[in-house]
Structure 1
Amino acid sequence: MQLGSTARPAGVAALRDAYARGLRPREVVDGVLERIADRNGDAVWISLAEPEVLRARAAELEERADGPLPPLYGIPFAVKDNIDVAGLPTTAACPTFAYSPAADATAVRRLLDAGAIAIGKTNLDQFATGLTGVRSPYGACESVFGGDLVSGGSSSGSAVAVAAGLVAFALGTDTAGSGRVPAAMNGIVGLKPTRGLVSTAGVVPACRSLDRVSIFANDLDDAATVLDVLAAPDPADPWSRHGPWSRPASPPVRVAIAEELDFEGDTAYAAAFAAVVAHVRASAGAVVETPLGPLLEAGDLLYGGPWVAERLAELDGFLREYPGDVLPVTRAVLERGRGYDAVAAFRARHRLQELRAWTRRLFERADVLLLPTVPTTFTRAEIAEQPIARNLVLGRYTQFANLLDLAAVAVPAGTTADGRPVGVTLLGPAFSEARLISAAHELISREAA
């Protein structure tokens, strides 16, 4: 493999091997800048570090090359623009909201300390409210599969930056599925860690009690390498917590599979997922059939319950002062939060606790739960026709995860007969990331290959 200014950037592991053989960070930076320039106008980026800043960072790293290399030495990455990077504005895809952070978010600082190179800030659904990638004044990313397919959101630019080969990995956030839906729509891995495992200090809140920093990567091992760097308690984050990652379940893995799924009449997507299920049934140690009703009910609480008021709580003052500077679809979602009071909030919390108990019992019978990441795909034109309803469709099998305190990894699983990307997700209880990655290796990645 040859890596240089014109080579498509490799993943984390491949770049580490190349550095061991003499590749220099300056070559990688020059190659990234060239590829970004070649894709001018694709709505992936909101801001980029200046070339001289990136080259200075590369030179700084090269001065350390004689000693032991840090785990992410010279690895280029992108950051969703609701996560602070010192020296670049944070906009949350709203120009009026923009500010200049004095310090990096904790997650970004940990990556930089590990030797990574922050290339720039990526586009997103405004205020991380949406799963489509079209709710931004900075443009709407298209999936790398083309055909006007949405890129998925809200971490649209981060996913496309990885899938298009602009960076080796990227940070997103995931509240309702924003770290998994874009992964599915672009054929990459999306790892959504357990709540609190990765610090959210320096992240613009969407729904503070549910927000997660997520990882986009080309493969499972790269995602795990990045998580190794990020996972640590943070006294600056009141939501931070630390628990032992569960050891991978010894094969054979017990897999829960839904008794009934709704693909919105998309027979090609249903057939593609059925092929994955057939492979899993043949490979898993045991298959547990499960209803999905309690999980879907939990997911409905996110936008159809008082948690939408938590989104408003973060932005109410800004929304009142600058209502015309928030996209109409974003404002419509946030304003729904005014319809909930404390009584409704407590009723929903009590019901959620019952649904969490049901979910715990499910994972006493199974190690992982297998679901399609999205039930179907949409074009940007189709989303424009029904922006809210079709957004909810994309989140059908993702938006319950954080409410139920689950970890998840979304992985590519081939394409439909008509060439659209197919993604599946494995979910497990809190701190089950190692188990999920191991199961995805065993059950899904071989099938996708």
Structure 2
Amino acid sequence: MNGTTPIWISRFDPDDIAAREAAAPDGPLRGQLVAVKDNIDVAGLPTTAACPALADRVATRSATAVSRLEAAGAVPVGKTNMDQFATGLVGTRSPYGACSSVFSDAHISGGSSSGSAVAVAAGLVPLALGTDTAGSGRVPAAFNGIVGLKPTRGLVPAAGLLPACRSLDCVTTFTRTVAAARTALAVLAGPDPADPWSRPAPPRPPAHIAARPRVIGVPAGPLDLDPEHAVAWKAALEHAARLGRLVPVAVDDFLAAAALLYGGPWLAERWAGFGALLDAAGPHADPAVRAVVTPGRDVTGAAVFAGLDRLAGLRQATEPVWLDIDALLLPTTPGHPRLADVAADPLGVNARLGTYTNFVNLLDLCVVAVPGGSRPDGLPFGVQLIGPAFADRPLLDLAARWTGEAAGGPSAPPDADAPAGTVLLAVAGAHMSGLPLNGELLALGAALEYRARTGPGYRLYRLPGPGVARPGLVDTGDGPAGGIAVEVWRVPRTAAGALLESVPAPLGLGRVRLDDGTEVLGFLAEAHGVRDATDVSAAGSWRRVPS
């Protein structure tokens, strides 16, 4: 980077920053300098959202996210450049100048949180705040080789944020490590009465979220990637295979949801947020932003409800995916454009960059964007680890393994490491998350530890009898080489006996050998008890056995 990239829109005086550092309270972020995207209020500095017409809008109080960082000892140093009104993924839609990647002056930084990402990547600050509605906290992370965390929607309050699309906006972080992102999230998260869209994390994660993510979904079909990106994506898949079991996932419905963000009625929400500023005469509005958002003025109420209905259908179609995988791995972008590419086609290039990011907030997902190695030309390549709402903590654990900050492949630690008074229990049928008997486990205080498969040799049978269909798992020695899908739950030891009493013959507890070579307790059927049962081993999972 040649040093001409316009990172800052406004800054505090160096003496003021030094005084703030000296007076910073004790906390997990004491003395850390923080850059803040210029659509987030910092008391004493203007909030322009990269619109010069707002340059006299000096904040009298800081946004909730900034206040929480300051209470933890962090020190804001200034407001960073951005795509105007957080509408763009390129980092060039700013009257304050276009940002380039720290790796190449000819290539874009990504947006809309361009200045925040570059400030971290250039080593000016260890932590920066951005926002992410369509991918603005992930695309610039990918193009600058850093970590971008987009938490579950509403987990970090947005009070004090000049909205782009209020129902979808998320405050995000840029850091150089996953550990730093984890620390920042712990400080930032929590509901705020000043933000009606904020929400608390549940006391316990949703039942289908595993404490130890080991199963990674990858696209079942080819992706639209530039050649240099395609080479890096292949290497990223090989790296993923060393961290967990890869499962092909059809991503068409996810990508269809992505198309709704700018091809559906959510443009009306952007128009409601800042359209009056675009409608006013004058050069203050970026032409591309005006072109993208102005159609939102004409969206009808009927179109809004049609869009909501379409999204509900896509959400319903994608939700079952999260019963089989812990994270969905996707490239962050299809390519890394040059500044000249954006100048030649400002709308088309930007739209393509959101191919794999736009759906995340619409479908209420969380994501950690991490470096995915380098392309053959030396530019950074970024990937996303995407999970369901409130999977933030295990997703960060997986991200730490991805970056090498935490050791471990797919193998589970031995049960000796389990908390006292608990036991790991493998279930292969109706007790799995989302299935009819899962409530029995939840009522006993069980929690999903990880997803796995049995070792080779096991067969799965559908046992005869009335009521809820039950599986019979038997180690016959000649079952499928790929094993049978199981979920391993952490159950209070006293509850395991009560659960066994509710299970009819020919089922009982025994040791189940898993695909990583470890053994856990699990429900097994006696061989004589499956003589009249239907062999459903070919399905590979009870979820795929017809009801």
Which category describes the TM-score, using the shorter chain as reference length? 0.7 to 0.9
One-letter code of the match for 1:349? L
Quote the residue 1:16 is aligned against.
none
Quote the residue 1:70 is aligned against.
27
How does 1:19-98 map onto structure 2 within 5 Å?
A: 41-61=4-24, 69-98=26-55
Quote the residue 1:259 is aligned against.
220
Match of 2:120 among 152, 162, 165: 162
Match of 1:433 among 374, 392, 398: 392
Match of 2:231 among 271, 275, 294: 271
**Cα distance between partner residues in 2 of 1:41 and 1:251:** 44
Deviation of 1:60 (Å): 1.6
Deviations 1:270-319 (A, max 9, x none): 111111112222431x3221111111110111001100111011122222
Deviations 1:103-141 (A, max 9, x none): 100000000111101010000000000000000000011
Quote the residue 1:216 is aligned against.
174
Tell me the secondary structure at the aligned position of residue 436 of structure 1. Answer: helix
Match of 2:144 among 157, 182, 186: 186
Deviation of 1:101 (Å): 1.3
Quote the residue 2:449 is aligned against.
none
C-alpha contact 2:179 2:400 (8 A) present in aligned 1 = no
Tell me the secondary structure at the aligned position of residue 149 of structure 1. Answer: strand
The reply to whether residue 408 of structure 1 matches residue 367 of structure 2 is: yes
Task: Note the residue ranges of structure 2 that are not aligned, 5 or more in a row.
Answer: 407-547
How does 1:100-111 map onto structure 2 within 5 Å?
A: 100-111=58-69
Deviation of 1:166 (Å): 0.1
Match of 1:361 among 320, 337, 340: 320
Quote the residue 1:34 is aligned against.
none
**Cα distance between partner residues in 2 of 1:172 and 1:311:** 18
**Cα distance between partner residues in 2 of 1:258 and 1:200:** 32
**Cα distance between partner residues in 2 of 1:234 and 1:84:** 16
Tell me the secondary structure at the aligned position of residue 402 of structure 1. Answer: helix
| Aligned sequence identity (%) | 51
Q: Compared with structure 1, are the counterparts of its residues 257 and 122 closer, same or farther at alpha carbon in structure 2 (3 Å cutoff)? A: same
Quote the residue 1:11 is aligned against.
none
Tell me the secondary structure at the aligned position of residue 148 of structure 1. Answer: strand
Larger relative contact order (CA 8 Å, sep ≥ 6): 1
- Of 95-104 and 408-417, deviating more is 95-104
C-alpha contact 2:213 2:398 (8 A) present in aligned 1 = no
One-letter code of the match for 2:156? V
Match of 1:313 among 272, 277, 282: 272
Tell me how large the CA RMSD over aligned residues is. 1.9
Match of 1:394 among 353, 359, 381: 353
C-alpha contact 1:131 1:178 (8 A) present in aligned 2 = yes
**Cα distance between partner residues in 2 of 1:331 and 1:48:** 27
The reply to whether residue 290 of structure 1 matches residue 249 of structure 2 is: yes
One-letter code of the match for 1:291? A
One-letter code of the match for 1:406? L
Match of 2:339 among 365, 377, 380: 380
Q: Compared with structure 1, are the counterparts of its residues 348 and 214 closer, same or farther at alpha carbon in structure 2 (3 Å cutoff)? A: same
Tell me the secondary structure at the aligned position of residue 377 of structure 2. Answer: coil
C-alpha contact 1:123 1:138 (8 A) present in aligned 2 = yes
Quote the residue 2:135 is aligned against.
177
**Cα distance between partner residues in 1 of 2:171 and 2:45:** 19
Quote the residue 1:10 is aligned against.
none
Q: Between Structure 1 and Structure 2, which shows a larger proportion of strand residues?
A: 2
Q: Compared with structure 1, are the counterparts of its residues 251 and 295 closer, same or farther at alpha carbon in structure 2 (3 Å cutoff)? A: same
**Cα distance between partner residues in 1 of 2:130 and 2:50:** 14
**Cα distance between partner residues in 1 of 2:281 and 2:59:** 21
**Cα distance between partner residues in 1 of 2:67 and 2:242:** 43
Quote the residue 2:156 is aligned against.
198
C-alpha contact 1:263 1:269 (8 A) present in aligned 2 = no
Quote the residue 2:469 is aligned against.
none
- Of 371-380 and 434-443, deviating more is 434-443
Quote the residue 1:351 is aligned against.
310
Q: Compared with structure 1, are the counterparts of its residues 379 and 309 closer, same or farther at alpha carbon in structure 2 (3 Å cutoff)? A: same
Scaled by the length of structure 2, what TM-score is found?
0.71
Q: Compared with structure 1, are the counterparts of its residues 39 and 55 closer, same or farther at alpha carbon in structure 2 (3 Å cutoff)? A: farther
Tell me the secondary structure at the aligned position of residue 283 of structure 1. Answer: coil
Deviations 1:34-91 (A, max 9, x none): xxxx986420000000112112112223xx6xxxx31110000100000000000010
C-alpha contact 1:246 1:435 (8 A) present in aligned 2 = no
- Of 386-395 and 320-329, deviating more is 320-329
| Corresponding residue pairs, total | 403
The reply to whether residue 371 of structure 1 matches residue 344 of structure 2 is: no
Task: Note the residue ranges of structure 1 that are not aligned, 5 or more in a row.
Answer: 1-37
Match of 1:280 among 236, 240, 244: 240
One-letter code of the match for 1:263? D
Which has the greater radius of gyration? Answer: 2
One-letter code of the match for 1:120? G
One-letter code of the match for 1:49? F
**Cα distance between partner residues in 2 of 1:113 and 1:283:** 36
